[in-house]
Structure 1
C-alpha cells in the first residue's frame, strides 16, 4: 500500500507548509499582518511577506482540493483571527486592572 502524501500546500511567507499545519500557521500569519497594519501606520517597518498557495502538490503531483482538505484561505484565516481578537481584547492582563494604582 503506498504511503499517503502529507501535501505541502503553500508558503507562509517563505516557509513550506504542509496541509496538516496550514490553518494554524495561516491564522498566526494573519496576526503578523494585523500587527504590521497597526504598527505600519506610525512607523516604517518591513513587510512580513506574502502567502503562496499551491494548486498541485509539489511532492506527488496530485491536484489539491483545498475545500476537501479543509484549508482556509487568507481571508478566512483573518476573519478567524479577528473574531478571536475581539473575543479576547486584552490577552496580556485583566481588563480594567490598575496594577495597584488608583
Structure 2
C-alpha cells in the first residue's frame, strides 16, 4: 500500500489538518481494514474500485464514491472490492466549535 500525506495550503490550514492518498493494487490490499475513531471528520473520494462496509449483523453495503463521514463512536470494518485509490480530506478536530 502506498500512503502519501500532504499539508494543506495556508488559506485552508485553520480547517483542514491534512490530505492523504491511499493506493494499492488488489493483490497487496488487505482483505479487511478497521477504521478507528480519531475525532476527525473526513471527506473521502474513492477513485479506485468501491469499498464495502460491514454492518453489525454481518451484512455489507457498498460505500458511495464520495462522502463525508462524521466523528466515529466505534470502529468500522471496511473491505476493498478491487484496486484501492482513495483521497481523504481530514478536517481539524475542533472544527465543530467554529461559529
Larger-Rg structure: 1
**TM-score normalised to structure 2 length:** 0.24
The structure carrying a bigger strand percent of its residues is 2
